[in-house]
Structure 1
Amino acid sequence: MDLTRRHLLGGFAATAAATVLPARLLLAKAPIERRFVLIILRGALDGLAAMPPYADPDLRALRGALLPPDPGGDGGMVDLDGRFALHPGLAPLKYWYAEGGFLPLHAVASPYRDRSHFDGQDLLETGAARLDGTRDGWLNRTLGLIGATDRRFGIAFAEEIPLVLRGATPVTSWLPDKPAGLPPGFPDLVARLYDRDPALHAAYAAGLDTTAFGRQIQGMVQADTAMTAGPAQGAMAQGAMAQGAMAGGAMAGAAAGADLQLAEAAGRFLADPGGSRIAVMELYGWDTHVQQVKRLDRLLAGYAATLQALRRGLGDAWKQTAILTVTEFGRTAAANGSGGTDHGTGSVAFLAGGAVHGGRVLADWPGLAQDKLYQGRDLAPTTDLRAVVKGVFRDHLGLPEDALDRIVFPGSADAAPMRELVRRA
């Protein structure tokens, strides 16, 4: 189905859901109970800014004014282990780190070694070892291994389904939508039109169900937001974590509100006993060539607030969830002449969730001395992102290693699954 028709069906579904369908659960029985969420930061996250290796003796000379003050200073970095710190915008996640639900991994990259956003994102999402024309995504292939039969088991909270989720296994997408103001009875006419085409009829029916459930979830989120809007109520309900949530929210600003409602709604989709289990979210704007400091203050605080909203939506399902955040490549180790950084190589990945074995930093640290930089300019990658994903999928989703090597990431036998990233299912 082409993009135009898919969007048209989405508009029909929104109208039909409001008029002819009751809200109901998405799936009768999910094939697994554990949840996995992939968050893609599009534009190339500066890993040295998000998670400064402040004990590295070469960091200050490379970064200069791009760095916040050292831990303990006003507006300073948030120390994790005496070697690495979080950007102050990520301060709320220190509480997750302390409770064992946050695991940063540094000097990480996909196999891609050039600096094109288009090609980097393509390789990140197909999971291929090289740009070879592969047009399905590794997360869709994973759904096939799991045995997902209902398209709503795998969901993208995005305007269109990203490449990582496209492929032979049917999936769906959802965003809060406004009815198109079509005349009464129009959805029924469309349904009749598609009655004789099994594929279109099934897709249309799935869109109706997903939209109906989404509208129910959206209403629940808005009601909860109204109930907790007073200054005495924090976004989190647990002591220090509430303080972190309010700090992150203040830095993120009011403009992030719509994304936070989407994140909380996504959590509710996944938390429902009959709901989705595999999800993708996208956050944009990470190409920080100019005025990086102010932009990352806002972006990183917004990212932390997004994770917190997702956790709120998940509720008790947080204990069964692993959230992996990735980006297409990193940025240069040194600042450019415009107060920013240019396209680089190594970056960071973040694992979060109640199923994560966190509270530590994983990094085979290459160092930032000139002779240690990749091509003399970038953080050298020492951990293959595919090894991270394979470790999560083996221990969290129970997938066999040989299938991960052959099907999910073909040609990746040299990237052995990392161990002890999550608590085993």
Structure 2
Amino acid sequence: MTMGLTRRTFLHTAGAGLALAAPRLLFAQAATDRRFVFIIQRGAADGLHTVIPYADPGYAALRGALAIDPSQATRLDGMFALHPSLAEWASLHAAGQALFLHAVASPYRDRSHFDGQNVLESGGTAPYQLKDGWMNRLVGLLPRTGKQAIAFAPTVPLALRGSVDVASYAPSALPQASDDLLARVQQLYAQDAQLHPLWSAAMDARAMAGGVDGRGRQDPGALGRLAASFLAQADGPRLAMIETGGWDTHSAQNPRLAAQLKALDATTAALREGLGAAWDKTVVLVATEFGRTAAANGTGGTDHGTAAAALLAGGAVQGGRVIADWPGLGASSLHEGRDLRPTQDLDAVIAAVAAEAYGLDRDRVARTLFPQMRSGQRLPALLRT
């Protein structure tokens, strides 16, 4: 058997424990007690459907049948309500552990998913301007242990790519490799300068996952529990990224987004439960590449827009608030006559959260994560001291 274990076979064997997972989690380790989880909503999530401006007279007029009945939603204040699928987030808001930022956007102003996600993840002001990601640059600002960063995914997305090495881990529904096989592979590659470090990193990740069953990885609750199993460990990762898709709702938006938001809610609840006491030192940021049109289209959905909503939760969050310089939904207030106009920079939100989470200088973090970011916007404190 040993003679037949080629490089291709090795990768296939490793894949028995490290296979495709979607949604995907990405981890990076740092010597700190604070946990920072970034959840990206790929596909342009509708912020007006998530954090509902029920008191704006333009909302019901523009949305028609898509408008959420405020009596069915959780009222956050005199202007905004939370979608009824977000029961966990509503409870966290009531407990002062969640807040919402509305009318936020990255510097990107066109409406291509690929370009918008590239700007959001790289931290540039234009697509493909930067080659690495803001999360990788953030890792570079933190004191780290000797272990490399780790990504719980088959491949590392742009936000975590860069000069800091990030390995990948993803559970599989395939049968687990036997201990005897793993020992043989370990022995075979002990002297291989290229494969031995890769194998060792994979085994470290496998050990960190412990007994968590990855076969239910597409279940939102299982996803949150798996993330928590890594983050809760004393020597585990302190930065995580969770990828979610399916937010592009050109049609049948009401049932589709109800399911999407329910899944996000379940992932968040599982994270909180799985982290236990570590939740008090955790912040979860949820954001999307851009929002959707203020008005409904003709197929029960919305089209690509501009501003959206960002969500923050965690025991470290100074919550119970909605932060919004609300532009209004009147015809003269809309961006290009069709979209929610952005009044807050998403880059500034990310920089502020990262700086507060790790006790770093906010200006230094902003310059590092977003080198071309416009200066001047100052946000109130978002996290507890």
Given the two structures, how large is their TM-score scaled by the length of structure 1? 0.80
Q: Does 1:309 align with 2:270?
A: yes
**RMSD over equivalenced CA pairs, Å:** 2.8
Alignment of 1:84-233 (within 5 A): 84-151=80-147, 154-179=149-174, 186-188=181-183, 190-191=185-186, 194-214=189-209, 216-218=210-212
| Cα separation, partners in 2 of 1:413 and 1:40, compared to 1, 3 Å | same
The structure-2 alpha-carbon separation of the partners of 1:63 and 1:206, relative to structure 1 and needing over 3 Å to count, comes to: same
Report the Cα distance in structure 2 between the residues aligned to 1:344 and 1:336, rounded to whole angstroms.
12
Residues 201-250 of structure 1, C-alpha deviations (whole Å, 9 max, x = no match): 22220111101221x1405x99xxxxxxxxxxxxxxxxxxxxxxxxxxxx
Q: Is structure 2 residue 45 aligned with structure 1 residue 45? A: yes
Amino acid in structure 1 at the alignment position of 2:290: F
Tell me if structure 2 keeps the 8 A contact 1:9–1:204: no
Shift of 1:363: 0.4
How far apart are 1:198 and its partner, in Å? 3.5
Q: Which residue of 2 aligns with 1:68?
A: 68
Alpha-carbon displacement from aligned partner over 1:175-208 (angstroms, at most 9, x marks no partner): 3224567788554554455445535422220111
Deviations 1:365-391 (A, max 9, x none): 000011110111000011101111111
Shift of residue 330, structure 1, vs aligned partner: 0.2
How far is the alpha carbon of 1:407 from its aligned partner?
1.8
Which shows bigger deviation, 356-365 or 265-274? 265-274
User: 1:117–1:87: structure 2 CA closer, same or farther, 3 Å change rule?
Assistant: same
Q: Does 1:359 align with 2:320?
A: yes
- Matched with 1:418 is 379
Change in Cα spacing, 1:32 to 1:256, as seen in structure 2 (3 Å) is: closer
Deviations 1:5-56 (A, max 9, x none): 899648427569xxxxxxxxx99x9511100000011111000011110111
Change (3 A) 1:292 1:59: same
Runs of 4+ with >3 A deviation:
5-11, 13-16, 149-152, 154-159, 178-200
Counterpart contact for 2:30–2:239, Cα < 8 Å: no
Q: Are the equivalent residues in 2 in contact too, given 1:150–1:170 (CA < 8 A)? A: no
Equivalent-residue separation in structure 2 for 1:404 and 1:137 (angstroms): 13
Query: Do structure 1's residue 279 and structure 2's residue 226 form an aligned pair?
Result: no
- Give the 3 Å change call, closer, same or farther, for CA 37–53 of structure 1 in structure 2: same
Q: Give the gaps of 5 or more residues in structure 2.
A: 1-6, 19-26
**Does structure 1 residue 373 correspond to structure 2 residue 334?**
yes
Contact 1:37 1:323 in 2 (8 A): yes
Deviates more, 1:315-324 or 1:131-140: 131-140
CA distance in 2, matches of 1:30, 1:308: 24
Q: Could you say which structure has the higher helix fraction?
A: 1
| Gapped regions of structure 1 (runs ≥ 5) | 17-25, 223-254
Matched with 1:12 is 14
Which of the numbers 345, 368, 373 marks the counterpart of 1:384?
Answer: 345
Shift of the 7–31 alpha-carbon distance from structure 1 to 2, 3 Å rule, reads farther
Residues in 2 aligned to 1:382 and 1:88: alpha-carbon distance in whole angstroms: 26
CA distance in 2, matches of 1:364, 1:203: 48
Is the 8 Å Cα contact of residues 373 and 380 (structure 1) preserved in structure 2? yes
Q: Distance in 2 between matches of 1:360 and 1:86?
A: 12
Change (3 A) 1:334 1:15: closer
Aligned residue number for residue 21 of structure 1? none
Moved more, 409-418 or 331-340: 409-418
8 Å Cα contact 1:36/1:321 also seen in 2: yes
CA distance in structure 2 between the partners assigned to 1:348 and 1:420 by the alignment: 18
Distance 2:304 2:272 in 1: 31
Structure 1 contact 151–172 (Cα < 8 Å) conserved: no
Share of identical aligned residues, percent?
Answer: 47
